[in-house]
Amino acid sequence: MNSENNSPLDSNQGGGKSKWLARREYTDPAEKKRDFWIGVIIFFVLNIVLTLCQWGLGFGLLSASSNFAATDSVSSALESILYLIFALAPWAINIGLIVYFALTRSQIALGMVAGFGIALAIVICLGVLFTVWCFASLSAGSY
């Protein structure tokens, strides 16, 4: 609590920032490295958890909609809205966290962006390997 005005915000009478938006000042390069790797780990763990939740909820909604044979337009509209929310939630959470950490702990935000780059590089490499495998299997089958 701020002792001057007994508020939980860290303000100085004139529109100061709250503790939630206080920018971290790094004093040691080890702190920067630690926060960077925390950001990379947060990115991968968060997206794995979000993907598993999205799959689970999606399969749950699919099985629930197949059990009810109602073709009500209200229920189908609600189902479409829920699918849209589940599809956009990971984007909103990821972008929101990157913006939040960019304002508060910049190295964690950089780590999350680097995690996205790592994931993109992995997907591109796997795509190239899959393409090579497809061409190799097609050419082997043409004899």
Name the residue ranges covered by the structural domains of the chain. Answer: 46-134
94: confidence class by pLDDT, cuts 50, 70, 90: very high
> Average pLDDT in the 56-63 region?
72
The residue whose two tokens read 């962006």 is 113
Q: How many Cα atoms are found within 13 Å in the side-chain-facing hemisphere of 113?
A: 10
Mean pLDDT in residue range 42-62: 86
Q: Is the pLDDT of residue 39 over 50?
A: yes
pLDDT for position 81: 84
Report if pTM > 0.85.
no
d(CA 98, CA 73): 38
> Residues 6 or more apart from 118 whose CB is under 8 A from it?
40
Over range 35-42, report the average pLDDT. 96
DSSP string, 24-92: PPP-SHHHHHHHHHHHHHHHHHHHHHHHHHHHHHHHHHHHHHHH-----HHHHHHHHHHHHHHHHHHHH
Q: 69 pLDDT exceeds 80?
A: no
